[in-house]
Amino acid sequence: MKRNIITAILMTVVTTILLGIVYPLVVTALAQVLFPNKANGQLIVQDGKTIGSRIIAQPFTGAGYFHPRGSAAGNGYDAANSGATNYGPTNQKLVDRVKQDVDAARTENPGKAIPVDYVTTSASGLDPQISPANAEFQAPRVARERGISDEELLALVRQHTEERQFHFLGEARVNVLELNLDLDSKFPLQKRASR
């Protein structure tokens, strides 16, 4: 009995050190050496200043910018509180919010089909991408604000469209932060819209 207790205690100590300290340190060190960008959150740095992450959405509200998917994470795009509302499809709060967003979208682009991801939030509330259809839906507003043609803007959207991974996984997508940064670089606003 005493021997079993000592063995159990030693096993607990050894596995705690190996799996709770050594293993995480080795994996972290390997990630820093082999994939430093991904291990550090795929941060986007301009002029020595970190302006965002390629993998976490941030809000853009100005009319001259593409807007990401809506977020129900905390107060919106809150990485410390990510998650959806978990409302079911028959929940009246969800139905009312989507109806309100659809009405606003119809005002912005009358007669155009509204992409689903334009009026719905993602499961995490932090998705940095939108569908190409969502980007095309927003293009007239952004082009008007930037004083450029829809065709110029859609060409830029196409440049930023990532196809399905391995041609069959996921969906085509557009990274909103990268697109907006390129937009600022190539077609700056005369009068800066709020981000």
Tell me: the pLDDT tens digits for 92-128?
999 999 999 999 999 998 999 999 999 998 888 888 9
- Phi and psi based region of residue 134 (left: phi greater than 0; alpha: psi -120 to 50; beta: remaining): alpha
pLDDT band at 77 (very low <50, low <70, confident <90, very high): confident
pLDDT band at 82 (very low <50, low <70, confident <90, very high): confident
Per-domain residue ranges of the chain: 1-40, 42-186
- Percent of the chain whose predicted confidence (pLDDT) is above 90: 70
Q: Give, in order, the Cα–Cα distances in Å from 103 to each of 13, 93, 98, 114, 118.
A: 61, 15, 9, 10, 12
pLDDT band at 29 (very low <50, low <70, confident <90, very high): very high
pLDDT, residue 122, reads: 83
Q: Do residues 134 and 118 touch, judged by C-beta distance below 8 A?
A: yes
pLDDT of residue 9 exceeding 60: yes
pLDDT of residue 162 exceeding 70: yes
Mean pLDDT of 142-163: 95
How far apart, in Å, do the first and last CA atoms of the chain sit?
Answer: 67
pLDDT band at 142 (very low <50, low <70, confident <90, very high): very high
**Chain segment 52-62, per-residue pLDDT in tens:** 999 999 989 89
The pLDDT mean for the chain works out to 91
Q: Which residues contact 90 (CB under 8 A, 6 or more apart)?
A: none
pLDDT, residue 21, reads: 97
pLDDT of residue 184 exceeding 60: yes
Instruction: Tell me the longest C-alpha to C-alpha distance in the chain.
Output: 82
The answer to which of 14-28, 63-77, 158-172 has the lowest mean pLDDT is 63-77
How many angstroms separate the CA atoms of 33 and 120, rounded?
Answer: 38
